[in-house]
Chain A
């Protein structure tokens, strides 16, 4: 085979290459810098990401395949690229002071975030199960290391280990699913799979269905679906707080991006036979996440269960399917990164060296001393709970409307009742901050500029997307495949 015949089409993947380049440059640069000099790396990385963001926006409407139909750089993947890069920038901004405080400011940290972002971008544009797997692994392996980045901290180690073991299992399932599907269809390319399934009558073939089930299990682990959620609380609690924010935002969106493309595009014809199983998964995920979150006293852990519940809400959109299902899931994930990263940024700000101070009792009477910080935290909580006029409300509303449109009224009733239950635990944080008398000594909180920037940007986005969702809505509607 002549190399010239290969249609690599590198120009389509310039943002990906640029991101790879950025990561590599920083990786080689970091050992050359002194400890003081390393402080420039986070700034280089967010500036670099920012430029890549501009690049993605500039080529937003391109619709090109690369590497012989293995990658599909379209609006859909670019929409998710926005989600990933924005969340990475926010996490980097929130990380700087944390790393200084814990004395672990190392170049690798940012390089790993960049590589993880690259993995996510590959997942979003993968038009081949192998590419999706590749992206999944690049992302996951970076995250395993990041979760254990505080090497001296036993919780961080536990988090990393659990994440790795569970993730490795998930990858195994995923690969096996790919193998089974390949065995039945003869291709791992999503276009081929879609065509074969459309034309033939093997939709109910048991091997194929088991393969699809295994894929679902693999994705289920990554996005924290019940019953594959066991790792979520421990990993969230043990990982460094900014990394928790990172894990809860980008990778979840990446998992959904690939899941949406696989299930609503390639496996569209099998979708119906799976819809009752997906229905049950959505219900179980929402309900279990919300109910267990009620009894949590640690905010990081509570948000872990809440993130499971939110995965359930997005799953409602997946069950609904169709144009609205797709664009509402995209809107939801975009809105969700701001709420979650914002909340975790504030948790980061409140920690002290070696301690997260993320117990609910640590927040007692916070509003007396830090009214603004408490108000922001309250906004994040209200957004997560889905109160108008925040983005959280509109995102939920849009997902639910997609499901009602497809006739899943009972599913929506269960979803709104879930969101009703969730109000209790989100508001409890607000109760503790505003309605309890301050107790004990409070160590003064240092609020560095970068962290404030991340929080303010999240707040502004939540309010903007809540009050004027029109623009993002149009973008999401344009970006469906």
Chain B
């Protein structure tokens, strides 16, 4: 079971696709139900990973390693550690919710839609569980295709522009990463005498400084575009605004995390010298992202693009955390990836729900919703607060931990980042106030129906996660602790100066909370 479970989780959605292919396209309900069924089963299977995860080791778990193309040293090598565990869970969880949220939003071509969603799920999980560089790249690029269709077919009025922009931006980074992967591959061959794309083989490779810089930049470009870091963020608002609700949820919830995950899994352990050397650059870009994203979000008229720009800001926090290269920063960064997936995913869902009712997303078209649809407004409130990072919600834990890490490494950065939280409160609450409070000014808003049972079922799990992480994040920190610790430690040891570097035992976030 333990070595098959990851393959099962990765490819079960594809099995679901084959099943849906057999259903006649007129049977919409059956198609939707079976898509939901497969994604739900997949989520339940991924819970197995959570409960059987051994948090005392940073070695990959649930490993399967089979030769795939032995001539070139390519293997089918899957495994997860404390970092990817949560991203896999996030993916299966959000896929489930995204499929459920498309129940009534998607009118036409429902069969193709569900197939696309399931293929996308396979691609995303594949990215997080692959430990072979070639396999990773196959999933990384293959996953673009379903997303491309998702935005391009079921998107809004400017969908074609948005989807092409999305694909081209992402591909530009990816193709250069492919060259870097090949260079690494042959460097490894010359160093050790055998061909391998196995990530752990390539980790062993000492890379001279100059080459390290180029290779790092090629990888970092691909990931920075995906995150997206300022100044590569311009595809994001377009893609978000035009994508269907479920597409936005997946995009914000999972796809962006591939970028930040890439920095942790590839850039840091492969090129630690350059990583440390370029920390100021990336930290400053992250800070610009935080402030700039927040300021632009504040000026948005459309709720969805407001949320999209807030993503730029939130992901800036994640990047800042990762580049502190200490326990709190990185752990906080990982937690914030999950938080952002949950909170922003929920925000997009809420925006989608109100859009289905009113067919507009402009802030000025709303006002006074509290009186008309109180349940919607209440949930919206909670999610808004969690996005801002109110204590007791998940956002607080994530941002607070990141800031702890940032204060340890550079007080100036931390101070600037803190102002980002203030700005976040400003744009979110201002938007919330204009949408929900006040008098009902538009007659169209008077007859709005409140959330139905399906919509409540979609949102309740998200709310539970918001409070779970907000109140008791310890199990999450426990599970990621060892992996993060070893990642930082090994990377520091691998640097040129690392050999003389006395690594002091760092206090973990869990211990901090425990005190």
Contacts and interface: CB of A to CB of B under 8 A. Distances in A.
A423 B137 contact: no
Nearest to B149: A434
A401 interface: yes
Given A371-B112, A388-B142, A393-B138, A409 B167 contact: no
A14 B194 CA distance: 42
Given A424-B168, A435-B152, A400 B69 contact: no
Interface stretch (B180-188, B347-355, B417-425, B433-441): B180-188
A469 interface: yes
Contacts of A401: 72, 182, 185-186
B142 A389 contact: yes
Contact of B159 (A393, A398, A435, A469): A435
Interface residues of A, number: 32
Interface residues of B, number: 34
Tell me whether chain A's interface is mostly helix, strand or loop, or mixed: helix
A153 to B, nearest CB: 35
Interface stretch (A86-94, A165-173, A176-184, A412-420): A412-420
B464 interface: no
A27 interface: no
A412 B182 contact: yes
Contact of B138 (A388, A412, A417, A420): A388
Nearest to B143: A388
Contacts of B23: none
B376 interface: no
A404 interface: yes
Among A409, A412, A416, A419, find the residue whose CB has the most chain B CB atoms closer than 10 A. Answer: A416
A400 B182 contact: yes
B62 interface: no
A427 B71 contact: no
Nearest to B140: A388
Given A431-B152, A435-B152, A419 B71 contact: no
Contacts of B134: 397
Contacts of B72: 398, 401, 473
Nearest to A417: B175
A380 B152 CA distance: 18
B152 A434 contact: yes
Interface in B164-212: 164, 167-168, 171-172, 175-176, 178-179, 182-183, 185-186
Contact of A413 (B144, B145, B176): B176
Tell me whether chain B's interface is mostly helix, strand or loop, or mixed: helix
Contacts of A417: 175
Interface string A460-472: 0000000001100
B285 interface: no
B141 interface: yes
Contacts of B152: 430-431, 434-435
B216 interface: no
A281 interface: no
Given A389-B138, A404-B183, A412-B182, A420 B71 contact: no
A420 B175 contact: yes
Nearest to A432: B160
B69 A427 contact: no
Among A387, A388, A431, A470, find the residue whose CB has the most chain B CB atoms closer than 10 A. Answer: A388
B179 A427 contact: no
Contact of B160 (A388, A409, A435): A435
B11 interface: no
A427 B175 contact: no
A431 to B, nearest CB: 6
B443 interface: no
A405 interface: yes
A30 interface: no
A477 B71 CA distance: 9
Contacts of A397: 134, 178
Contact of A405 (B168, B171, B175, B186): B186
A423 B167 contact: yes
B175 A416 contact: yes
Contacts of B145: 382, 387
A473 B186 CA distance: 18
B167 A412 contact: no
B139 to A, nearest CB: 8
Contact of A469 (B69, B112, B153): B69
A419 B172 CA distance: 10
Interface in B73-89: none
A118 B17 CA distance: 44
Contacts of A388: 137-139, 141-142
A469 B175 CA distance: 21
A400 B179 contact: yes
B171 A423 contact: yes
A427 B142 contact: no
B142 A387 contact: yes
Contacts of B168: 420, 423-424
Contacts of B176: 413, 416
B514 interface: no
A420 B179 contact: no
A369 B144 CA distance: 25
A413 B142 contact: no
A260 B124 CA distance: 40
Contacts of A297: none
B112 A431 contact: no
A54 to B, nearest CB: 26
A474 interface: yes
A382 B146 CA distance: 12
A404 B179 contact: yes
B179 A416 contact: yes
B189 to A, nearest CB: 8
A434 B116 CA distance: 13
Among B142, B153, B175, B176, find the residue whose CB has the most chain A CB atoms closer than 10 A. Answer: B175
B69 A470 contact: yes
A405 B176 CA distance: 16
A389 B119 CA distance: 12
Given A469-B69, A470-B70, A412 B179 contact: yes
B148 interface: yes
A401 B69 CA distance: 14
Contacts of A393: 138, 141
Contact of A424 (B68, B148, B149, B164): B164
A382 B148 CA distance: 12
A477 B137 CA distance: 24
A434 B152 CA distance: 8
A427 B149 CA distance: 10
Nearest to B182: A404
A387 B174 CA distance: 11
Contacts of B138: 388-389, 393
B18 to A, nearest CB: 14
B180 to A, nearest CB: 10
Contacts of A389: 138, 142
Nearest to A474: B71
B164 A427 contact: yes
A10 to B, nearest CB: 36
Nearest to B141: A388
Nearest to A404: B182
Nearest to B151: A435
A434 B185 CA distance: 38
17 contacts: A371-B112, A393-B138, A400-B182, A404-B183, A405-B186, A409-B183, A416-B179, A420-B172, A423-B167, A423-B171, A434-B149, A434-B153, A435-B152, A435-B160, A436-B160, A469-B69, A470-B69
Given A401-B72, A424-B164, A431-B163, 19 more contacts: A382-B145, A387-B142, A388-B138, A388-B139, A393-B138, A398-B72, A400-B182, A404-B179, A405-B186, A409-B183, A413-B176, A416-B175, A416-B178, A420-B168, A423-B171, A424-B168, A427-B148, A427-B167, A434-B149
Interface of B: 68-72, 112, 134, 137-139, 141-142, 144-145, 148-149, 152-153, 159-160, 163-164, 167-168, 171-172, 175-176, 178-179, 182-183, 185-186
4 nearest CB pairs, A to B = A416-B175, A388-B138, A404-B182, A435-B152
